[in-house]
Amino acid sequence: MGSSFRNPSFGSTSGALPLGVKWLLISNTAVFLVQFVLYHFAGVALNFLKLIPAQTVTGFVWQPVSYMFLHDVHGAMHLVWNMISLFFTGPMLELHWGTQRFLRYYLLCGVGAAFCVIVASFVVGAQGTATLGASGALFGILLAYGVLFPDVLFFGVIKAKWFVTIIGAINLIDGIASQNAGVSHVAHLGGMLVGYLLIRFGFEARGRSRTTADPIAWAQAQYKNWKLARARKKFEVYLKNNRTRH
C-alpha cells in the first residue's frame, strides 16, 4: 500500500507542525474570523486590503501582500480548502528549507501571483475586480512540492509530479474557457510560474536543508502522538469515574 508521505528527504520525526506552517494556519484563520465578524455584524468588507489593481497602482501598495490573508466571508470553504492544502504540502517544504526560507518562498509566490493578476487585469480591462486568498502562494507551494518530492504519493495513488501537472492543466483550461469570476486562475497559474522560476534560478540550491529523515517516520510519529493523547484522555476519565464511585 502506498504512503502519502513516501520520500527520502523530510525534516522532522517529532510529529509536530513546523513553526512557519503553524503561524500561517493561525494567522489566516484569525484574519478570516475578524473579516467574518466585521462583514456580517458591522457591514465592513475591508476592500482596501483586497487586491484591486486599480487601487494598487494608485498607492495601495500593501495589497499584493495583504490579499493573501483574506478569504471569502460568504462561507468557510475557501479558507478550509486553502488551509488543508497548506497543512498537507507545507510541512515537508518547511522542514526541507527551514522556516525563514519557506516563508520567504511563500510570500514571494503570493506577491508574484498578485503582479500577474495586476498585469492580466489591465490586459482584459478588469482593473476593478478584487482578488483575495492564499491560493497564489499555495499553488507555488504545490509546484515546489511536485518538483522537490516528485514521487511522493497523493492520496496513495498518484505521484506528486503528475498531480501538480494535472492541477496546473485544469487551471489553464478553466482560465481560458471559464466565465467564473469567483476563481482567479491567473493567480493560481501565476503562483506556480513564480515558484518554478524561483526554483529554476537557484532558490532550491541556496535553501537546501542539511537535515533529512524518513517522512514515513513523521507520519508514524503523528499517529503515535494521537494514540498517546487518546489513551491519556481515557485514563483520566477512568480515574475520574473511580474517584466518583469511591
- In the chain, domain spans: 19-213, 216-246
Q: Exposed, middle or buried by CB within 10 Å (0-12, 13-18, 19+), for 219?
A: middle
CA–CA distance, 124 with 26 (Å, rounded to integer): 35
CA–CA distance, 187 with 85 (Å, rounded to integer): 16
Asked if residues 191 and 113 have their Cβ atoms less than 8 Å apart, the reply is yes
In tens, the pLDDT along 142-159 reads 999 999 999 888 777 889
CA–CA distance, 187 with 183 (Å, rounded to integer): 9
In order of 102, 117, 205, the CA distances from 211 in angstroms are 15, 36, 14
* Average predicted confidence (pLDDT) for the chain: 82
Q: Give exposure, 54-86, as e/b (b: 16+ Cβ within 10 Å).
A: ebbeeebeebbebbbbbbebeeeebbeebbebb
Instruction: Tell me which fold the domain 19-213 belongs to.
Output: Rhomboid-like fold (1.20.1540)
Give strand pairing partners of 153: 159
Task: Give the pLDDT of residue 11.
Answer: 35
pLDDT band at residue 239, thresholds of 50, 70 and 90? low
pLDDT band at residue 102, thresholds of 50, 70 and 90? very high
Find the mean pLDDT for residues 161-172. Answer: 84
Closest to 215 in 3D by CA, of 152, 155, 138, 145? 152
Least confident piece of the model among 130-144, 145-159, 194-208: 194-208
Which residues are annotated as catalytic? 135, 188
In tens, the pLDDT along 45-101 reads 999 999 999 999 999 999 999 999 999 999 899 999 999 999 989 999 999 999 999
pLDDT at 10 over 50: no
CA–CA distance, 104 with 49 (Å, rounded to integer): 20
